[in-house]
Structure 1
Amino acid sequence: MGLLGRLASPIVGADRRVIVLGSARMVGAIGNSFLIVVLPLYIASGVVDLGALLGGRVGVGPASIPVTEPLLIGIVLSLFGFLNSFSQPWTGRLSDRVGKRRPFILAGIALLGTASGLYVFATDYWTLVVLRAAQGIGAALTIPAVVALVNEYAASPDERGENFGVFNTFRLFGFGFGPILAGVVVEAGPYDLSALGIETAFGRPAVVSGYDAAFLAACAGAYLSFALVYWLVHDTEESAKASGKDVSIRVFGDDRLFDPVFALGLATVAMGICIALFATLQNQINLRLGQAPVWFGIQFAAVTIANVVFQVPVGRAADRFGRRPFLVAGFVLLVPSTLLQGIVTTPVTMLVVRLIQGISVALAFPPSLAIAGDIAKEGESGSTLSVLTMGFGLGIAIGPLTSGILVEYGFVVPFAAGSALAVLAFVAVVTQVDETLGVST
């Protein structure tokens, strides 16, 4: 059986409800990841009035920094991640207390999609900020509830790793290829709709810019995801069992410093930072490696591609052989694969290192979710698993800001700092997290 056959076989045999949830998240992720590419271009195009914001300074005295266009772009992009991450424990806990997942998922998708469509009318910076903030809250409503349902759909613990592997494969496929599609949509614009018999729109000639087409495509993708969830996804009996309970997140452990799930959350923050350090250094990386921009796009996508390929096999293996060996191996591999990105000097070696980093994430993340799912008490999946989804989102938001600041001290410095965090994450995993497969919790 070829590689594709080996990858397809576990997906075909997976729970169909998980495949539906994964497909819905894939469609939504494609639409939302459009904005990672489109918003910076949209702001830089001059359509958005930055007004008196440019030229000012933020901070106090020597610690102040000038307000530049890249800074304003970074704030808009990071705002989504911070609001999404910090809101997830609250929305996850609320879905546990209410005892329902589906309403949260639908509300979050609707908020994401509506805000995407409204970007068409955004011509000033603060409107972009409000819409991106709304999307961050929409994602926070959706993600913990979706992950909780994936966990609850597992008929037994030895299916949990596979469920998360399948779900993450679909989600990452959407997230990884959305930016590529966005670039194509923007580049092919503007679009003349007169060929479709539409002569005017909003009192203007029916010509849609590439930016507006991307925003509308993101909106359409979200509402297609909404339709899939509405018709095909339902709550479980387990979802209702925590209704009215006072569920909370534990920080400290009974026989060790940290609760295992909280320790995994901290480790996941470090993992997200390590992945995202690369994102803001496109110009420096292209110059250092003497490569064309297309190389950066391939290298950026390599982490996602490796995840798409390995998540399902790792999830199945974690169900058979245990969670902890794969979890530990993932964080071991994360250390050198992060540091080497600041050392390699050719495009091909950078690609190889990014692929290795993607494998490290695929080794660590499904087992982490499976361990949290094993530990979660009945009806508390939303609260428990939100610790990990929050941690990953927070790391992805912190990473670009970290590399943007530290690169001023040398190209290798951000990656050295990331690898140091990966070492701390490895220590946390080894000392605070035990095997849970086959263990009564």
Structure 2
Amino acid sequence: MDKKIFSALFFSIFAAVTGIGIVVPLLPVYAHDLGASGLYIALIFGGFSISRTIFLPMFGRWSDKKGRKPFLTVGLFFYFIISLAFIFARDLNSLVILRIIQGAASAMIMPVAMAYVGDITPKGREGTTMGIFNMSIFLGLSIGPLLGGVISDLFSLQAAFAWMGALAFGAFCLSGVFLPPVHSERIVSAGFHAIPWKQLILDLSILRLFIFRMVYATCIGIIWGFLPVYGAVSFGLSSAAIGTLVMLGVAVNGVIHVPMGVVADHLDKRKLVIGGGVIAAAGISVMGWAQGFWGLFFASAVFGIGGGIAMPSLMALAVVSGNQNTAMGAVMAMITIAHSLGMLLGSLFAGVMMDLVGLQLAFPAGAVIMLAGVAGFIALTYGSEIDGFIKRGSA
């Protein structure tokens, strides 16, 4: 594996995600203070997911054809510009529009970076490599919310947006300077052979990853979009305390990501995904019955443990599928689409729950959704094996 490329991708994504993490726990409370209903808060988070979902197939396929670096650098530069625009946003409509634009830029960053890592991953080390790379995401999402809460408490929300912009610009510089020219990328030098989207969508081994990632992201959408509001309204938690809660689940996930990536290279990845999903369901369920900061603290930690067990194996399986189909960008785009759809559905679902029956019930309902996704993953795993057995028998 090319360590220079890996390091450039790692630190670029770490810087960009840290910037995003700074404002994630602050946006729902800021929108609520501006008079947003639960559904409007959902739109602020959902707008990001909608636009990212629309553009992901296009950018994922184009990166398979044109190379990874152009999309990554352009996307990071747009992150920088949008961060500056957030500083001057003073109404709910502006927040929604900026999140929609930010979602489109995101479609050029995360799936393309993951595809690039998949391109340079040695065979048999998919779990370890993706586990290490995903640390860039989880470290950024751990440090960002805590840093954002502190900056907001000490200075202002606009200062937090400025920090997000500075980190995005740093990531843009890192990727632009240290990633090699496009012509040297493996996907470009090997030539592009488009795999029909229908073939990828109907592949049960990919579909099961899509479903699991979507329901897991649905739970994240519920937590990120409405745990800050739940903590602030129900328990009077400060911005720093809310940032700590959002940080905790991500931090725990990240801490065990690397060792679980190593484990994934030696054990049955499917069983690790299933076990992690069950634990994550338990974590989000407990949030609905928490009695204060420490109850939410425990629940966030349990949810993080579940994700830390499941995600390295899930992403390792995605790398294997990407290599098998010679469509790493397209496969990673599908996985990221699943994440975007889940975030959208989670935020919309919790917003409706908040307005109709109360926010507290959204968290155990999320657990039911998570368990349904685990069941779907199990069914499609067995379906894939049965399909393979039938094909071998008829050969």
Pair in the same fold by TM > 0.5: yes
Asked whether the equivalents of residues 52 and 337 of structure 2 are also in contact (C-alpha less than 8 Å), the reply is: yes
Find the counterpart in structure 2 of residue 61 from structure 1. Answer: none
Larger Rg: 1
Deviations 1:49-74 (CA, angstroms, capped at 9, x unpaired): xxxxx8xxxxxxxxxxxxx4664444
Find the counterpart in structure 2 of residue 176 from structure 1. Answer: 142
Change in Cα spacing, 1:71 to 1:333, as seen in structure 2 (3 Å) is closer
Find the counterpart in structure 2 of residue 205 from structure 1. Answer: none
- In the aligned structure 1, how far is the partner of 2:26 from the partner of 2:278? 35
1:389 to 324, 329, 336: 336
Deviating more after overlay: 17-26 vs 312-321: 17-26
Change in Cα spacing, 1:260 to 1:30, as seen in structure 2 (3 Å) is same
Which protein, 1 or 2, shows the higher relative CO under an 8 Å CA cutoff with sep ≥ 6? 2
Change in Cα spacing, 1:126 to 1:412, as seen in structure 2 (3 Å) is closer
Residue 310 of structure 1, CA deviation: 0.6
1:251 alignment partner AA: I
Residue 81 of structure 1, CA deviation: 2.2
1:431 to 371, 379, 382: 379
1:337 alignment partner AA: G
Count residues with an aligned counterpart.
377
Change in Cα spacing, 1:346 to 1:14, as seen in structure 2 (3 Å) is farther
Find the counterpart in structure 2 of residue 270 from structure 1. Answer: 215
- In the aligned structure 2, how far is the partner of 1:260 from the partner of 1:338? 27
- In the aligned structure 2, how far is the partner of 1:176 from the partner of 1:406? 27
Residue 144 of structure 1, CA deviation: 1.5
1:188 alignment partner AA: L
1:252 to 198, 202, 208: 202
SS in 2 for 1:20: helix
2:318 alignment partner AA: A
1:413 alignment partner AA: L
1:152 to 119, 138, 144: 119
Identity %: 21
Residue 215 of structure 1, CA deviation: 2.7
Asked whether the equivalents of residues 146 and 247 of structure 2 are also in contact (C-alpha less than 8 Å), the reply is: no
Counterparts in 2 of 1:341-360, with a 5 A limit?
341-345=287-291, 347-360=293-306
RMSD value over aligned CA atoms? 2.9
Residue 111 of structure 1, CA deviation: 1.1
2:5 alignment partner AA: R
- In the aligned structure 2, how far is the partner of 1:169 from the partner of 1:85? 24
Q: Does 1:329 align with 2:262?
A: no
- In the aligned structure 2, how far is the partner of 1:309 from the partner of 1:396? 23
1:115 to 74, 82, 86: 82
Residue 164 of structure 1, CA deviation: 1.0
Deviations 1:362-393 (CA, angstroms, capped at 9, x unpaired): 11111111111112236410101221122123
SS in 2 for 1:243: coil
Q: Does 1:404 align with 2:348?
A: no
2:207 alignment partner AA: F
- In the aligned structure 2, how far is the partner of 1:126 from the partner of 1:140? 22
Counterparts in 2 of 1:107-146, with a 5 A limit?
107-123=74-90, 125-146=92-113
Change in Cα spacing, 1:32 to 1:410, as seen in structure 2 (3 Å) is closer
Unaligned runs of 5+ in 2: 389-395
- In the aligned structure 2, how far is the partner of 1:116 from the partner of 1:136? 12
Deviating more after overlay: 223-232 vs 345-354: 345-354
Unaligned runs of 5+ in 1: 1-12, 47-53, 55-67, 190-209, 254-258
SS in 2 for 1:321: coil
Instruction: Give the TM-score normalised by the residue count of structure 2.
Output: 0.85
- In the aligned structure 1, how far is the partner of 2:306 from the partner of 2:250? 11
SS in 2 for 1:345: coil
Deviating more after overlay: 244-253 vs 146-155: 244-253
- In the aligned structure 2, how far is the partner of 1:71 from the partner of 1:424? 24
Deviating more after overlay: 73-82 vs 308-317: 73-82
Residue 247 of structure 1, CA deviation: 4.2
Find the counterpart in structure 2 of residue 362 from structure 1. Answer: 308
Find the counterpart in structure 1 of residue 369 from structure 2. Answer: 421
Residue 166 of structure 1, CA deviation: 1.1
Deviations 1:267-315 (CA, angstroms, capped at 9, x unpaired): 1111111233233144545666x57445544332221011121111111
2:79 alignment partner AA: L
- In the aligned structure 2, how far is the partner of 1:69 from the partner of 1:391? 26
Which structure shows the higher helix fraction?
2
Asked whether the equivalents of residues 91 and 140 of structure 1 are also in contact (C-alpha less than 8 Å), the reply is: yes
Change in Cα spacing, 1:274 to 1:37, as seen in structure 2 (3 Å) is closer
